[in-house]
Amino acid sequence: MKLSKMLAIKKELEEIIKNAGRIPDGLRVAIPPHDAYELSQGLQIQLVALGEAARCDLKLRQAQVALDQIVRGDYERCLACDGLKGEKRIDAVPYSPFCVRCQELLDGHQLEGFEHLAAA
């Protein structure tokens, strides 16, 4: 992989880490509900915000691992199988420390030892 591309990915990963924990403005709710409908709308927004927070947390953990891989010099390798992630995978999900095959195994709860980097 070219150094310029690796530096761009490093910058993107650092930006993900920097922005972790920020709640998008559209998900902030401070108006108390006046009826059941408004209460249900508020609860739905909170559920969306919780889901977004969980996705951000996972992305943050994966970005930190990927950044560590860059520092170690093994960013192009899958954390689980040590095979190459592939350029298309890196372009699509630069923060993922896994190749497509291992990510699918992880998502299906068939890859042990990496649960902290898996979606709930």
> Which DSSP state fits 26?
G
Taking only the tens place, the pLDDT of each residue in 27-81 is 555 556 566 767 677 767 766 666 666 677 788 888 888 889 988 999 999 999 9
pTM of the model: 0.63
At 7, is the pLDDT very low, low, confident or very high (cuts 50, 70, 90)?
A: confident
CB atoms under 10 Å from CB of 69, counted, come to: 18
Structural domains of the chain, ranges and CATH numbers in brackets:
3-117 (1.20.120.910)
Q: Report d(CA 31, CA 99) in Å as an integer.
A: 44
